[in-house]
Amino acid sequence: MSGVLVVMEQRGGAWNRMSFEAFEAGLALANKLGTDCIAAVVGESVQSMAWDSKSQPNAMYAVENGALKEYTSDAFVEALAQVIKKLQPAYVVFPHTYQVRDFAPALATRFKQVLISDVVAVHEGPVFVRQLLQGKLNADYKHSSQGPCFISVQAGSFRAEQAPASALTMEVFTPELDATKVRNRPGERFRESAQTVDLSSAPVIVSVGRGIGEQENIGVVEELATALGAEIAASRPICDNGWLPMERQVGSSGQTVSPKLYLAVGISGAIQHLVGMKGSKTVIAINKDENAPIFEVADYGVVGDLFEIVPALTKAIQNAKG
């Protein structure tokens, strides 16, 4: 048993880019151990997928079977179990995606192992670092048994550099799968129809407060929201004045949101507003008052004139998105 196997994720022929970050983690681990780093991708017909990350695997496997066209835990676990039995890696690395969370623990159980999930760093040992208690503590985990060590890697912990796509020679492996043994029947993926504004599911929110001054000025923030592909929200006074509909209000008498990014523009941060957005993963605040309470909950803060900063930001985002 040796080597590092990284299981890549794809859907409909497009990579889940977190896979490349997981690959970086796997590669770093392999280099520390002085072994090979192999990659494998699972699907119906994936052998012609191009690799567009700078670091490349020592070998690449296409795990193909008709039963693997749509993701199901039963099929993937069985398929990968066969791959692992064949390749005998010492380490199996996954990106910590929703899909991986669904099947990797079951796969590990097949080998009487426990997945070390959501790893943020790999140290000498190897020691795998995870976060506990909603990020309040870090913990060092070690693998302490025979058999492969399974880990999944947190998004954004390792950086993968994109490179021009290149074709990789993939060895095709066709696992033996009995489609009748697949117990779940997945349906089509869908997005919720936006009948009313549901800020609670928006991943990015740009929120505007009293600092905007006049109703006419809201356009400045709306442009930023459009550039970011974000939903626009507001603190209560803005909605009270009718400048934005009530359903866009965030706060104790409006919606409670927890987006990946909350951009607070001209919002002071009164408690009634804070309780509605304190669950946001990242908060960026722009306010001309350095003592505004919003800065206490912001990860990044800008003290300045929003009428200068927001247009500049909008332009910069438009450029970055190309």
Partner 1 sequence: MVAGVLRVAVEARQITGTSPSPDISAPGIPAILAEPAHFSRPESALLVLCVLLSAGLFFWRFGPILRRILRSKKDADFSLSPIGPRAWEFFWEVLCQAKVIRQRPLPGLAHAFVFWGFLAFALVSLNHMATGLGLGFLPPESLVGRFYFLFAAAWALLVAVSIAGLFFRRFFARPIWLGSKVSYESGFIAFLIFMLMVTYLGAFFVPGDSDAVKALWWMHTLALLVFLPLIPHTKHLHLVLSPVTVFLKRDGFSKIPPLAGDEDFGLVAGKDLTQLISLQAYSCVECGRCTEHCPAATTGKVLNPKEIALGVRSYLNEFGPTSDVALLTEARIPSPDNPPAKYLSMEAAFECTTCGSCEFQCPVGVQHVPLIVGLRRGATNTGAWEDSYGTKLFLALEKNGNALGLSAMERDKFIQKQQFPVFDGTQEYCLWLGCMGGYDPKGREIIADFARVMQYLGTTFGVLKKEKCTGDPARRLGNDLVFQTLAEHGLKAFETAKVQKIVAICPHCVRTIANDWREFGIAPEIEHHSEFMARHKDRLPKQSGESIVYHDPCYLGRYQDVYEEPRAVIAQAGTLVEAPRSHERSFCCGAGGGLTFLGEEKGDRVSYVRAKELVSTGAQVVGTACPFCNTMFRDALTAVSETPPQLLDIAQLTARAIPASQKEAAGGVE
Partner 2 sequence: MKIVVAIKQVPERDAQIRIAADGKWIDESDLSYTINEPDAYALEEALRLKEKNGAGEVIVVCAGPERVQSTLREALAKGADRAIHIEADDLAALDTLGVAQVLADAIRGESPDLILTGLQSDDLGLGQTGVVLAELLGIPHATIIMQVEVAGAGLKVKRELEDGWFQHVEMPLPALLTIQSGGNKLRYATLMGIKKAKTKELKTVPAAASSSTPTITLERVYLPEKQKKTEMLTGSPDEVAAKIVDKLKFEVRVI
Judged by CB under 8 A, the chain residues 283 through 322 that form the site for partner 2 are 284, 295-296, 298-305, 308-309, 311-313, 315-317, 320-321
Nearest CA to 171 out of 277, 60, 50, 289 is that of 60
272 in helix, strand or coil? helix
Phi and psi at residue 139, to the nearest 5°: -135, 140
> What pairs with residue 43 in β-bridges?
64
Contacts of partner 1 in 261-300 (CB under 8 A): 269-272, 274-275, 278, 291, 293
Min CB(204)–partner 1 separation in Å? 23
Neighbours of 307 (CB within 10 A): 14
The Cα diameter of the chain in Å comes to 68
Neighbours of 305 (CB within 10 A): 13
DSSP letter string over 66-97?
Answer: GGGSS--HHHHHHHHHHHHHHH--SEEEEE--
Partner that binds at residue 127, options partner 2, partner 1, none, CB closer than 5 to 8 Å by kind: partner 2
Tokens representing residue 207 in the block: 């929120």
Min CB(85)–partner 2 separation in Å? 17
Tell me, residue by residue from 220 to 259, as one string, x for binding to partner 2 by CB under 8 A and - for no binding.
--------xx------------------------------
Contacts of partner 2 in 99-118 (CB under 8 A): 101-103, 105-106, 108-110, 112-118
Min CB(144)–partner 2 separation in Å? 5
Q: Which residue, 90 or 317, is less far from partner 2 as judged by CB?
A: 317
Neighbours of 164 (CB within 10 A): 7
Tokens representing residue 268 in the block: 């002071």
Phi and psi at residue 55, to the nearest 5°: -75, 140
Pick one of 66, 86, 140, 166: the residue that binds partner 2 (CB under 8 A): 140
Q: Which residue, 170 or 257, is less far from partner 2 as judged by CB?
A: 257
Peptide bond into 126 cis (omega under 30): yes
Neighbours of 263 (CB within 10 A): 28
User: CB under 8 Å, gap of 24 or more: what pairs does 13-17 form?
Assistant: 13/43, 13/46, 13/49, 15/49, 15/52, 16/95, 16/97, 16/99, 17/160
Q: How many residues interact with partner 1 (rule CB under 8 A)?
A: 16
Contacts of partner 1 in 221-260 (CB under 8 A): 236-237, 240, 246, 252-253, 256
How crowded is the C-beta side of 158, counted as CA atoms within 13 Å?
30
Q: Which residue, 57 or 207, is less far from partner 2 as judged by CB?
A: 207
Q: Which residue, 105 or 237, is less far from partner 1 as judged by CB?
A: 237
Contacts of partner 2 in 264-283 (CB under 8 A): 281-282
Contacts of partner 2 in 13-72 (CB under 8 A): none
Q: Which residue, 96 or 273, is less far from partner 1 as judged by CB?
A: 273
Partner that binds at residue 133, options partner 2, partner 1, none, CB closer than 5 to 8 Å by kind: partner 2
Tell me, residue by residue from 156 to 195, as one string, x for binding to partner 2 by CB under 8 A and - for no binding.
x--x-----------------------xxxxxxxxxx---
Q: Which residue, 43 or 259, is less far from partner 1 as judged by CB?
A: 259
Q: How many residues interact with partner 2 (rule CB under 8 A)?
A: 83
Q: Are 257 and 235 in contact (CB under 8 A)?
A: no
Min CB(228)–partner 2 separation in Å? 7
Which spans of this chain sit near partner 1 (rule: CB under 8 A)?
236-237, 240, 246, 252-253, 256, 269-272, 274-275, 278, 291, 293
